[in-house]
Amino acid sequence: MLKRSLVSIIICVVLLTVYSVPVSKAKSEDLVGKANFEKVVNFQRINEPKIENAIKKKFKKLIKISDTEIAEDVNWDKFKEQATYYWDNSNPDDLKIAFIVNKEDAKDWKEIKKQLQEELGVKVKFKKAKFNPKELEDLVKPVSEYVDTNVSGKKQGVYYDSEFEKVVIQAELTDQEMKDLYKSFNKNMVSIEPIDADFIGTATYKRNYPFTNLGGGMLIGVDNTGNNSPSNPDNYLAASSGYVVYKAGQAYLVTAGHAFEKASTTNTTYEVINGTSPNIQVIGYQHWSGNNATTQYDVGLVRLTANNFYVNSRFYTMNNGGGIDGQLKPALVQSNITKGLAVNKSGYRTGITGGTVTKLDHYAYWSEQSYPTQVIEVTVKAGLGYNINGEQAFAGNNDSGGTVYTASSYALVGSVTAATPQWYDQYGNRYGSRALITPAYAIQKHLGSNTYVYMQTYDTLVGNF
């Protein structure tokens, strides 16, 4: 059995009472939760294309999705100078799309609003923005850098709340630190909230794909000792694959960066394997990790060298009880992640779970790291989690690196980084209702314009890139 790695984040949560939920009540709540989540998914499936099409007419950009292909996307940075939106899922029987508008009199916005009203009717609502949404979003990084340098107490994270138009700081500040913070930033644009939880992320055991076909949700083992002994998987740190990217004729498997301790763009000593004993094969080597204070992305790239292996863009889904039938949406990753967006996760420990995005542009502190990591946060929805002692978990031990995708269209969102350690099973495995996700769009942007996410609906030999 491959070794497990635990990376933890501290949360100050005290459980005063532990009780069991009656099975019949729990099942009833699960059924209601699943039904409500399906309402949200269907609502987003129908209306997200309408929103994007309306915005794209005025804010379109062309992006390269391969060396020979170009696709249309929305220029979200330009659009957010005028407005932003989120999914209001507060009432599953009266779901809304809420736009917060900065430039109500702008010609482009007026035309977009007219189309939205015509196509969405009472499903859409509008509110005058207090601040420019793009300025708020851009404020997150400098606030995070300030907190990292100037706050001496415990830090959980800094994130953008589009609904309440605030940059939220979750940290323990002294009175003087709070005064200094408000001298540096507009008090009306930032909000200080107490720490509510810490996180534990784990390298993962995942479902095994066919050994010669590499996609999302696959068990891999990372050698951090240089022993090169595939016959002894105890030397390897268990992790999992999220998706495939390629650049300049080379394919890479994306996994969690915290699994890598010996990443090197040239060194081939520290290999990565696929499968468990006796069916173990070397698929490649540690190449690069963004899990550091400079890059601040918990992503690692495995340089694939098994030229007789294929790569694909598939993953496990809920369909038919769970199977390798999930095809990522061709062409584009999810470039606009909004509050309330419904997502699913495919992971070994907790299988397929569902939830909604609760925190955007989140610089989160987790494990024992002294620096924040750029993520989004997802919270499980009742009935869509993994049942652990009557509670609903979004993820647990062995789920890091798993594929996260939109529930409505299967567009790639990113990969699992960490989860809250709220509950334990009899074997000591930890589970939580919330998870941190590293967004694929940000990773693709960081790696450069000639790095592409593999989105083809056919399989390709590693040796043919």
pLDDT digits (tens, 9 = 90+) for 47-99: 999 999 999 999 999 988 888 888 899 999 999 999 999 999 999 999 999 99
CA distance 411 to 433: 22
**249 Cβ contact list (under 8 Å, min separation 6):** 465
SS3 50: helix
For 7, phi then psi, to 5°, come to -125, 125
pLDDT value for 19: 30
Q: By the 8 A CB rule, do 155 and 148 touch?
A: yes
pLDDT score recorded for residue 199: 56
Chain centre to alpha carbon of residue 78? 23
Place of tokens 């979004």: 394
Strand order in the sheet with 423-424: 395-396, 430-432, 423-424
Summarize pLDDT for 150-164 with one digit per residue, the tens. 999 989 999 999 999
pLDDT computed for residue 368 by the predictor: 67
pLDDT band at 396 (very low <50, low <70, confident <90, very high): confident
Q: Choose among 204, 199, 235: nearest CA to 4.
A: 204
Confidence check: pLDDT of 357 > 90: yes
pLDDT at residue 13 in the model: 27
Specify the pairing of strand 310-311 against strand 213-214.
parallel
DSSP category for residue 317: E
Q: What is the DSSP string of 375-427?
A: EEEEEE-TTSSEEETTEEESEETT-TT-EEEETTT--EEEEEEEE---EE-TT
Q: Domains of the chain: which residue ranges? A: 1-465
Q: What is the DSSP letter of 105?
A: T
Q: Which residue has the higher pLDDT, 36 or 275?
A: 36
CB 397 within 8 A of CB 6: yes
Residue 319 token pair: 């369909």
55 vs 77: CA distance, rounded Å: 12
- Mean pLDDT check: name the lowest of 12-21, 169-178, 342-351, 442-451: 12-21
> Rg of the chain over CA atoms, in angstroms?
22
What pLDDT is stored for residue 228 in this prediction?
64
Q: Name the amino acid, one letter, at 66.
A: S
Extract the tokens encoding 187.
């008090």
pTM of the model: 0.87
Residue 332: band (very low, low, confident or very high) from pLDDT cuts 50, 70, 90:
confident
User: For residue range 266-321, what is the model confidence (pLDDT) as tens digits?
Assistant: 888 888 887 666 678 889 999 999 999 999 999 999 999 999 999 989 876 655 55
pLDDT by residue (tens digit) across 188-235? 999 999 987 655 444 334 455 556 788 887 777 888 887 666 666 667
Compute the distance between CA of residue 369 and CA of residue 291 in angstroms, rounded to an integer: 10
Between CA 422 and CA 366 the distance in angstroms is 15
